[in-house]
Amino acid sequence: MSFIKFLFTRVFIKQLLIAGIALFTCVILMLFWLKSNTNHNQKIEVPNLDRLSLDMAKEKLAELDLRFVVLDSSNYNPNFPKYSVIEQIPEAGEFVKENRKIYLTLNRSGYVFLEVPNVIGKTRRQAAPTLVSMGFKIGKIEYSSYIALDEVLEMSHKGKKIRPGDQLQKTSVIDFVLGDGEGTLKRKFDKN
């Protein structure tokens, strides 16, 4: 008997029909199982957690059967209370399923402390961008008698002299004493 004749025999057609019904039944059962176990069509709206403390956010998420994970607290935003939620993923208003993790970023208690780099002896044009890129701000500029124009002779913060390596909070204002380009070669230093 040839292969083509076998395809049209009653035994092959019967086996093919049984296999098709079994496959169809398995697919239908799998779809019902998936629908019941994956909470199909269940929607929980993610609440807005901005400015809430971690404890309040935890309570709010627990009421909705949602979990949370704290991602980071390295950012500081002065417009938000300390240790409050400043960012969440997924965002408020999105829909999720039960037991979903909500990723939270918390506000720090203040800006981080940074080490002041050594910009003494550099020009204002070199020193200012270095400090600004680190997060410091440039304040008052005073000139002192010195041969080099705009060379940084001293740095101070709130009237107190600072040295390279001192720790200052990010966004601190640093004042400069620069050379006026008309003095002698001798630098003016405090004995502190």
Predicted local distance difference test score (pLDDT) of residue 74 = 67
Rounded Cα gap, residues 157 and 164, in angstroms:
12
Distance, in Å, from the CA atom of 100 to the CA atom of 166, rounded to the nearest integer, reads: 45
- Which CATH fold would you assign to the domain 44-106? Trypsin Inhibitor V; Chain A (3.30.10)
Measured CA distances, 112 to 74, 85, 104, 116 (Å): 8, 18, 20, 12
The confidence score (pLDDT) of residue 191 equals 41
* Tokens linked to 162: 């600072």
Label each residue of 26-78 as H, E or C: HHHHHHHHHHHHCCCCCCEECCCCCCCEHHHHHHHHHHCCCEEEEEECCCCCC
Does the pLDDT of residue 40 top 80, yes or no?
no
Instruction: Collect all residues with Cβ–Cβ distance below 8 Å to 42 and sequence separation of at least 6.
Output: 97, 98
Kindly state the percentage of the chain with pLDDT values over 90. 60
Q: Which of 42, 60, 52 has the alpha carbon at shortest distance from 81? A: 52
Least confident of 39-43, 138-142, 143-147, 162-166: 39-43
CATH architecture of the domain with residue range 113-180 = 2-Layer Sandwich (3.30)
Each domain of the chain, given as residue ranges in start order, spans 9-36, 44-106, 113-180
Identical fold for domains 44-106 and 113-180, yes or no, is yes
Predicted confidence band of residue 158 (pLDDT cuts 50, 70, 90): very high
pTM over 0.85: no
Q: Which residue has tokens 């059962």?
A: 29
Average of per-residue pLDDT values in the chain: 88
| DSSP H or E segment with residue 24 | helix 10-37
CB 68 within 8 A of CB 105: no
Q: What pLDDT, in 10s, does the model give residues 81-106?
A: 888 898 999 999 999 988 899 999 98
